[in-house]
Structure 1
Amino acid sequence: MEFDSDLSAYSFYLEYGKITWFAASKIACRRSKATLEWVEAKFACTRYGTKRKTDARNPRPCMKIDCKAMLHIKRRQNGKWLVENFVKEHNHELSPDNVHYFPCYRKIAAGDEHNISTLHSVGVKASKIFAALAKQYGGYQNIGFLEKDMRNLLDKQRRLELESGDAKAMLEYFTSMQQVNPDFFYAVDLDEEQRLRNVFWVDAKGREDYKIFGDVISFDTTYITNKYKMPFAPFIGVNNHFQSALLGCALLADETTSTFVWLMETWVRAMGGRAPDAILN
């Protein structure tokens, strides 16, 4: 077979993998030393290769079992890409029922992305949006992406709004506050791409007040009044004059279980490890 470009060859191999029930990826490519143009590429089953030895305490799962299935192409002088080698056989069972879960085939179309963002901006929960998409496409397996992908899209949109310099300015302010008073506490939660997801802070007075008035705490995430539409979560106590005492604040990327676990663990750590007797929500 012959292709007009390496990208068209890769697209072909991805489509081939999808209809024959395996995940594919680009594993190698080579440039010409003389012209610096791409002249060679190799695409393969994602289970190609072997596991690397690691000293990590909790290594990531590795699915590589030295599968040899692959497509090897080379660029000719006329600019066309010709198949140099092709291995069809896999050394593992294929997955017709799970092929739509493979990351290489999961993609949110532009139209779906617009609808998801629009619905979420008016307060529709992600779970309900995904259920509506499943009904529209005739089943969850026909959507083309997972609910996790949709939630990542919404999270990414929030993070992108903070990249204009606001996140940097906020962290610089927290650092300066901590230099003025070492008892000022802040913590940030980063995603896999090292982008800011959640942030928590509490000043020295809030930490001192908690020691006295931290028996019962009010915690609420309904204050979505900032321009990023990110939940603002204050921790509120009441002093002996029945006045509110601010015991910490957080800006959250979402309201998932993992986010709340991070927030609560961080807040308790800021308060010396002592949890309150009760939390009102």
Structure 2
Amino acid sequence: MQSRLKRMNGQSPRVIFGCKKAGKHVPQKNVDPDKHRNCTSSRECCPCQIVVRSPRELFPRWRITSLVTDHCHELKKCDILESNQRDKRLSAEMLQLITTHAGKCDPKFIVYMLQHEWPDKAFDLRTVANAIQKAKNSAHIGGSEAAELHKILQDKTRNDKDWFFATDLDENGRLRRMFWMSPSQRYLYRRYRDVVISDNTYKTNRFGMPLNVIVIIDNAGKSRLVGCSLVSGGISGGL
């Protein structure tokens, strides 16, 4: 649906919501025939439209003054998906499917399965990913993400003594800070530490923990990553 606002002289404003195939295409003819373009139009004079008006005595409240729901053309699947693209709500059946496959399938594949079961609904990947994470947390699938990251880095330091890894926990046992450097990053830092740059992202992850990256400039003038850390802005921001 497309909308356009009309303000009539001495009358209250009105908004017309019409089908994108409404109206009739009027070709613009060029004086030079060689510059004419052969193009098509999606307009088919579709009568479907909704007219709403806001009377001055009720402004800014709106009311429907005209409603035509008939289309003169066949509705395609893409038209139905476009009308549902803003509806991000998930039904109980959809959440049940997500819970069943949470931790077993890639989020994109779960979206594919949802789309197969409900072809008339458009699914938002971020909404589905959040539902997957919520299902994993409820069922304790795969353990905590902080614990997984801690285990990965701990295994690396155990297998290679040149890895550096440090963590800091608060009194409740929640992760407050984490810092790590690989062997190659430690070598670069020892060799090119004249210019060190530290930069933070601003709470781009769902835990609200800024990622701090440490960069040096080597002898060729190139930026090289030499360290990373996750830092909590407070006790409530831990993992």
**Both structures adopt the same fold (TM-score exceeding 0.5):** no
Normalized per residue, the structure richer in helix is: 1
TM-score category (smaller protein): 0.3 to 0.5
Give 1 or 2 for the bigger CA radius of gyration: 2
